[in-house]
Amino acid sequence: MYGWRAKIGLITPMSENAEHAFHIYAPEGVSFASMKIQFPGPTPEGLAILTDQLEEAAKMYAKKRHDVVLFGCTSGSCIKGYGFDKECIQRIERASGWPGLTTSTAVLEAFQALGLSKTVVMTPYPDETNEAEKKFLEDNGLEVTSITGVGFNKVGEFSHPSKYFLYRKAKQLKTEGAEVFFLSCMGLATMELVEILEEDLGMPVITSHQANLWACLRHSRVNDKLPGLGKLFTI
């Protein structure tokens, strides 16, 4: 029987990256269902449209037990500022009847678990979205030493960089003063990069996919320490 340890519901933009990563890396007995919502793009206006679909998607999980229902979008769950991730959780829980979680909440919990607060951030977002995410992180007690957007060219065009591209861009960043490297966005394939970047940057790495999987498992009381996914999964 699938999901005998935990059943997790995903609400994500139109991409297969989350499901692919979770099914590969999740421990035995953990299953994932998925609902897709339309993604107009990572601008503040597009992300507002994305979150307007949250309740309707969460309702689809109401009839069967789920340990957690995750809104898997980093910028979408923080775009409206401090406390917006908690508002999204409340909306999920009212609509589905099950515990809710967001990527932004998972990322904050990852920083807390590591006991570190100074971070360099890399994203594929435009400047407006980066500023909103930076403010959200700082309003939640983190210090953002720098935030850099890569892979976004113009409104309506959202690129999905290769692992090579992301790795090279990460190596170019100035990390002085930072304790953690945070690679933001559920639209990027990042799980294979976590351990490599930790080794080469010399600091813990948090990515949106990795933090989501870790937080979903911990909220479901699945405490496996998974190899190859960085310091976070040793806690």
Q: How far from chain centre, in Å, is Cα 177? A: 23
Task: Give the type of residue at 140.
Answer: N
Asked whether the CA dihedral 88, 85, 49, 214 is positive or negative, the reply is negative
Per-residue model confidence as pLDDT tens for the chain (235 residues): 689 999 999 999 877 778 888 989 999 999 999 999 988 888 889 898 889 999 999 999 999 999 999 999 999 999 999 999 999 999 999 999 999 999 999 999 999 999 999 999 999 999 999 999 999 999 999 999 999 998 754 444 455 678 888 999 999 999 999 999 999 999 888 999 999 999 999 999 999 999 999 999 999 999 999 999 999 999 8
Q: Which of 138, 97, 123, 96 is nearest to 181 (CA)?
A: 123
Going along 113-210, which residue ranges are E strands?
A: 118-123, 143-149, 152-154, 157-158, 180-183, 205-207
Q: Which residues contact 84 (CB under 8 A, 6 or more apart)?
A: 77, 78, 104, 136
